[in-house]
């Protein structure tokens, strides 16, 4: 199990990312994955604000399937705010992306401890508590760690 709140564990996985690894599925490179995980932490931690424009009944169903089940995120799951092709790189190197993701995790840890009652919008599930975000991020990180063969 991946636990994003276990700093030592998640940082060790991040350190294992290699720019030369060919993903087992999907179109993201290892660096795209690191930058994508960073963006998801921006949503979870309230740094990136989006509007929920979906259907609330469907949001509850998605939440039940993605957060309140033991199921892993399926291969091919689509994020409604992403295009079919990855965005251009934000960082020049994968090492910069690794460090930036670690920095974002530190920011998220601080945000979570200082704002335990915070809720932030997810594009498919509307408002999520920070505990729900952690469950989702655990699955999200695991999904992408699987993508590059780390779990």
Q: What is the pLDDT of residues 63-109, one digit of tens each?
A: 999 999 999 998 888 776 667 788 899 999 999 999 999 999 999 99
Average pLDDT of the chain, as a whole number = 94
Cα 82 from chain centroid (whole Å)? 13
pLDDT tens-digit readout, 22-70: 999 999 999 999 999 999 999 999 999 998 988 999 999 999 999 999 9
Q: Which residues pair with 127 in a beta bridge?
A: 121
Angle made by CA atoms 37, 146, 141, in degrees to the nearest 5: 30
The pLDDT value given to residue 86 = 87
Per the listing, tokens 């993508």 go with 147
What Å distances lie between residue 124 and 32, 52, 62, CA to CA? 21, 7, 7
What does pTM read for this prediction?
0.94
Domains delineated in the chain: 7-15+25-73+87-147 (1.20.120)
């Amino acid at each position: 199990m991946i636990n994003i709140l276990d700093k030592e564990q998640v940082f060790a996985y991040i350190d294992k990312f290699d720019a030369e690894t060919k993903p087992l599925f999907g179109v993201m490179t290892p660096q795209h994955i690191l930058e994508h995980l960073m963006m998801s932490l921006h949503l979870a931690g309230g740094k990136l604000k989006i509007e929920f424009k979906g259907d609330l009944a469907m949001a509850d169903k998605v939440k039940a399937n993605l957060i309140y089940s033991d199921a892993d995120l399926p291969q091919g799951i689509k994020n409604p705010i992403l295009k079919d092709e990855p965005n251009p790189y934000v960082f020049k190197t994968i090492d910069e992306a690794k460090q930036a993701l670690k920095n974002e995790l530190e920011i998220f840890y601080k945000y979570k401890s200082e704002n335990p009652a915070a809720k932030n919008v997810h594009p498919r599930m509307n408002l999520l508590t920070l505990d729900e975000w952690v469950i989702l991020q655990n699955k999200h990180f695991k999904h992408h760690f699987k993508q590059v063969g780390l779990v």
